[in-house]
Structure formats: structure tokens, C-alpha cells
Chains A and B, each alone.
Chain A
């Protein structure tokens, strides 16, 4: 078994490689350990989903990759390699040149991330003109082309509309158009469909998959919806209290999960393909505050199998170790024991 931090510094195929990322904020109440030792990688043309409850550090991770944090109160350490270039210690200008160009972000709430005072077209053109020396007319042509690509009807007319004239789904399409303006190779989507209805969600996820095939870009999808993960993701990171609890392929996470937190998530979700029958099996208690993360395994206070560890979980933090090739789990339970529990006790609940 190898600790995830000990794998080769740069896996040859990885487009984005995050290693032992830590993002801490000092506040009046104490140090917030929003991300505390996170490692993962994404290849071109692949999608990685980061799953977790609110306050698990998912969004901070994405902002950390983009360099969108305040240097005055955020302490960032670790390494982020984007196409071989290190970002954590790079100058803000260097990161700025990459942001929007090589990596772009789609935010959760399209209404609050679009400026109400400027037209949709203007906002898309701005992103394009910052990175390319083109005339206004060229930028406008590009904006119309992008709106057409993301499926906005009559793009030449709608380009002059303001955000309030768009519906929720169209705004999210416009956001996607904006993030695509410079053909980024890494797209970070932070809960892109949470504010949308299911039928529109299906359209947007479909569009993202099409665009990924077309541009061969790497996608990081941040979500709490396991259904969306199952539909889109190739790899999955399950985050809890700023750390990865489990990391593997979608198949590993959905069919052979080994971490009690992943079991808890899967058992508490209501499913469309299950009849109204037995009770859900929620995870007891609440997620911890990131200021006051329990020592040892952060999940031990809510863990049903805590007693099997003999106290170790309260003092020692479990390392994220490889249990089978590409499948990493941070749990003190022995591998065979985890597999046995899943097979005998958990699988029947799912």
C-alpha cells in the first residue's frame, strides 16, 4: 500500500496534478482548515467529480486551483501542476494569464455571477478580448458563435440582451459560453446545475459532455448530487472536512466503496429507481466545523464502525492509501475488514 503523496510527482498523462494541497484561512475565531492535504489528478478528456457535503472544502479547492484567493488571509501550500506548470508558487500575473485562457470556471449561480448592468454579449467579449488582441467586431462575432454553440436560439439578437432577459437555463448556457471563449483545456464547474430544474440540468450536462468531446478538455465537476456524478464522472474524490476520504474511478466509488463515509452518502440518498420502502440510513450527526476538526480521523464521531479501530481513529489521522490500483481510501479499518463490511452489511442497503 502506498500513500497517495508518495506517487510519482507528475504522472505523465495528468493534465492537472494536485499534490498535498492545503488552504487555511486565519479568522477571528481561529484557523479554518478548508482544504487540508488533498491530492488528485485529471487527464485531458476526462472528468473528475469532487463530492461532499457543504463545508467540506469542495469550492475552496476549485478557487485554490484558479488562484482566486486573498493572499493576505489565505495560506496555501502544496503543489498544483497545470500542464507541467506549477501554480501555487507562481506569480499572480502568471496565474492570471492562465485563468480564462487555459483554465476556466463555471459558477453555481448564474444570476449572481453575471453582471446585471452589462449585456450578455459584452461580458463574453470581455473575457475574449482580455486574452486575445482582437477588435470589438471580431470579439462580437466570437460571442455570437459561442452562444450558438451552447444552444441559445437567435444568438445574433440575444447577444444584446441583459442577464435578466435570460431564463435560468439560458444564463447557465451563457456562463458556459463565456468560460469557453478561449478554448480552455481545464474547465472547473462548481455545482453547475444545482440551481436548475432537472430537464434543464439534463440539457446542460449533455452540452458539457459534447463540448468535452469536441475540445478534449479536462473537467472538474464539483457537486453534491451523486446522480450527476454517476452520469458525468470518470473519477471521483469524496471529500470530508477538507480531506479526501476516498478517491477512485466512478466504478470503485459506486460499486466497491470502502470508506464508511462513502457508504453513508450512498445509503442516505433517495433514489428514483428504488421503491418507497424501508427507511433511509442517514449519517448521524452533523459535519464538523472546519475550525475545529476532530483529531485523528475527522469522520470518527459519525462513523458506525468507529469501535472496530480500538481508539486509533481518535489520535491518528489515516493516510490516503491505495487499496487496489487507482483506488485510494483513508480509513484505519484493514482492507479485508472494509470489504467484508461492505459486502455483508452495506451493499444490501444500497
Chain B
């Protein structure tokens, strides 16, 4: 059912030529239809992306300009996949294949893949998001007319992580550690200073606003403050319908019906369509923000402290909602939060950040039950648990002082100024992020397991 050679799909692909396919894709609409289309697509994609990636790479090398202008197609229609393969094939020189039809194009691409080798392709289809050496420096300037740069705030300084489809990565750390900046870099609300962000194998690090537009459907964001992230002058219908209008997507039943379906999906009533944000409570507003993020059926959602502003009982409702829509719509989350208990509840994998760097990255259970980095130890021991008896006996590591300024971070290991284990080597040699146990990476010269929760 999933291979591009499957006859039904072939016909679909043939009907949609390279130019017409976007329109066709946009016409596919209703929530249910989309989800089903998506499911088949996902399956189809795994095979195609493996097949096409090397070809795409060659294309990018041969004609960079052409490859760059090639906009990504929507996934709404299953038919666009083979035809996309056709486009790729044509740029890599198999023009004949493309003209004869998408199905044949896919075949050509497979051949190309066979020639190109599959080693990297397998790896790429595993990960929806790959981040390599990601950096963001904010310049600090002095003077008004003649502005001279006096330094950089190294908000994010060399992040490496990958994220599998359907996973949730928790990003934790204290304020000022760069976790929100990372979120904004991943959505490309900010342009990275260095490094690469690859989404589904494609480099989106330096795409222009118009080149990014198709990716906006796939990567969405949920913001922290539900009071400032919704325009008070717009109705809920306008806010949640905005993604459809901006992306020029027509839906079968009209935007209004689609928006009402989204409102139902997030637990609001369709009658809320004409209301204004001030008529809602904090938890309901956050649901509106979630509905807006879900409108275009994204694949990856960056959640920047989505529950921090909410009361505990409402927090639990929103966390459950996020988990429900994740399994229902097959979403991947990057969950940014300072609350380690919330992150423990929702994440598969957790990255602990300190001053713009990841100090520890591990699977949920490993990080919370077998933490290795002293900073992780300090963080975990500082979180109080709602159990008075255990609180009395729990070990508490008190860090002294505050987080150093990211304008002038300590050399080598950035945590050495507050670390009780620091030795001479910590002040001179920066510890690399090493995988010292399976899927457990830590950046410390003296990692040591400690039980703290």
C-alpha cells in the first residue's frame, strides 16, 4: 500500500503535474481526509525519501539556484510524493523520466538512489529534525550614531541534537540558558549565526521568508503567554483561521467549518467562533493557541513554556490535550520548559541546557533516574516534590551564586564556576558532549551517577 509503484497512487500522481500539484494539494481539506491522507503519505514518504535523498543532494550540488527555488509541496495529497520525486529527478538530469509521468519519475529516482548509495538516506529518514552546531549570537553595540560592536551575547552556542518522528524532546534549563532562543531558531523566527537546522533532511537554516513559507505549515509554535499571543481585536475565528488565509488554503467546507472542527478538537465549543480572546480564561486561551498551531496539520510543534502561565488543574488539562493531539495527529514536539516535573511527564528525551550549551541529553528515565552531570544533579535536587516526608530526607544540592552572564561566559566548562567537583582541567579544557552510555550524552570531565528523585 505504501510504495510509490502502487497503481492507485500512480494515477493520482499522473493527474497532478508538477505545476498543478500545489493547487490540488490545497484543495484537499476536511480534517478527517487530511489525517487519512497524511497517514498513507507518511508511509509512502518513508520509502520515497529514502529513494530520493541522494538524488536531491546531487541536484543541490549541480544547480544550487534551481534547487533552492524549488518550493516544497504540501503533503495533503498522497499524489504529490511521486511527482516531487519526478521534479528531483528532472533536476538531476533525468528529464525524460519527468515528462513521461510521475510514476516513472519515481522509478528513475529509485534508480538514482541505487547509484548514489543509501547510507546517509537511511539516517535522514529516521530524524524529522537534525540540529548541528547551532549558534546564535546577539551583537552588543555601543553608541547611537556610530555603532560599534563591543561583544556578543552567546545565547546559543553549539547545539547538537536529533529528533525522531513522534518523539517529544524536552528542553530544560534556568532562565537565560538559551532554551527559548533555541525554540525560535528551530521555527526560524530567528536566523542562526552558525550551524545547520535540517527539517526532514532539508536544510532550512538560511532560507528566506518566502522560501520558508511552505515550511511554516509543517513547523508551528505554541507560545507561553496566552494573553499576549492572541490579538485582542480579532475574533477566535479570525485568529484560528489565519493560517488558512495566509497560506491560501481553501477547504472543502470553508474556513469557518474547519476552524470550528479545530475548536472542537482542542475542547472548545464551535460557538466560540465569534468571541474575542478577553472572553476566555487562561486555559481556554492556551487551547486557542493550540488550535491555531494545529490548523495546517503540522508535523513538528515547538511548545515554548505552554503551561507555565496556567494553574495546576488547568495545566493538567492542557498537558493531556497536548498528549492526545500528539497521538491523534502523529506530531513531534520540542517542549521547552523550566519545570522539570512537567518535562518528565511529557518528554521521551530530555536536553538540559546551561549557558547556551547542552550539558546532558538522554532518554527520560535515564536523565531523571541516572543523571550524570553535576548541573543536572543540582537542578533535580532543587525541585521540591509534593511529599512532606520525602522532602525531609531528600538530598539537596545548593548551588551558590547566579548564572554567569552569557556576554562573558566562563571559559572551558561553563559550569565550573558553580561546580563543587571542578578541577583544574575544567577551567582549561572544554568537555565535549559524549555518548557515555547508549543514548545518554553528557558534557562533563567527571560524570557520576547520583540518585536524586
Contact = CB atoms under 8 A, between A and B. Distances in A.
A266 B386 contact: yes
A229 interface: yes
B317 interface: yes
Nearest to A279: B320
B174 A199 contact: yes
Given A198-B338, A202-B396, A280-B316, A272 B402 contact: no
B314 interface: yes
Contact of A272 (B323, B383, B399): B383
Contact of A53 (B313, B320, B364, B365): B313
Contacts of B235: none
Interface in B175-231: 175
A264 B398 contact: no
A251 B391 CA distance: 12
B281 A286 contact: yes
Contact of A227 (B314, B385, B396, B401): B385
Interface SS, B side: helix
Contacts of B364: 275-276
Contacts of B438: none
A270 B402 contact: no
Given A230-B388, A269-B386, A270-B339, A280 B320 contact: yes
Q: Which of B340, B365, B386 neighbours the largest number of chain A CB atoms within 10 Å of its CB?
A: B386
Contacts of A161: none
B70 interface: no
A153 B401 CA distance: 9
A226 B314 CA distance: 15
Contact of B399 (A199, A266, A281): A199
B283 interface: yes
A198 B386 contact: no
Contacts of B398: 199, 202-203, 206
A178 B24 CA distance: 67
Interface in A73-111: none
B368 to A, nearest CB: 7
Contacts of B341: 227, 269-272
Interface string B380-409: 111111111111000010110110000000
Contacts of A250: 388
Nearest to B282: A54
Nearest to A201: B382
Contact of B384 (A199, A227, A270): A227
Contact of A273 (B338, B339, B399, B453): B453
B302 interface: no
A324 interface: no
A250 B391 CA distance: 12
A340 B5 CA distance: 62
A111 B37 CA distance: 51
Contact of B386 (A230, A279, A281): A230
B372 interface: no
A231 interface: yes
Q: In which size bucket is the chain A interface?
A: 35 or more
Given A202-B398, A230-B387, A265-B313, A197 B174 contact: yes
A198 B345 contact: no
B313 A271 contact: no
Given A224-B311, A282-B313, A273 B390 contact: yes
Contacts of A273: 385, 387, 390, 453
A283 B314 CA distance: 8
Interface in A225-280: 225-231, 233, 250-251, 254, 264-276, 279-280
Nearest to A277: B345
Interface in A169-210: 169-170, 197-203, 205-206
A202 B382 contact: yes
A251 B392 CA distance: 12
A272 to B, nearest CB: 4
A168 interface: yes
Nearest to B375: A199
A271 B385 contact: yes
B175, B340, B348, B387, most chain A CB atoms within 10 A: B387
Given A53-B311, A224-B312, A231 B319 contact: no
Interface of A: 53-54, 153, 167-170, 197-203, 205-206, 224-231, 233, 250-251, 254, 264-276, 279-284, 286-287
27 contacts: A153-B401, A200-B402, A201-B382, A202-B382, A202-B396, A203-B399, A206-B398, A224-B311, A224-B312, A225-B384, A226-B386, A254-B386, A267-B316, A268-B312, A268-B316, A269-B312, A274-B344, A274-B345, A275-B344, A275-B364, A275-B368, A276-B346, A279-B323, A280-B316, A280-B345, A283-B316, A287-B313
Given A227-B386, A233-B388, A272-B453, 7 more contacts: A198-B382, A199-B399, A254-B388, A265-B312, A268-B313, A279-B320, A286-B314
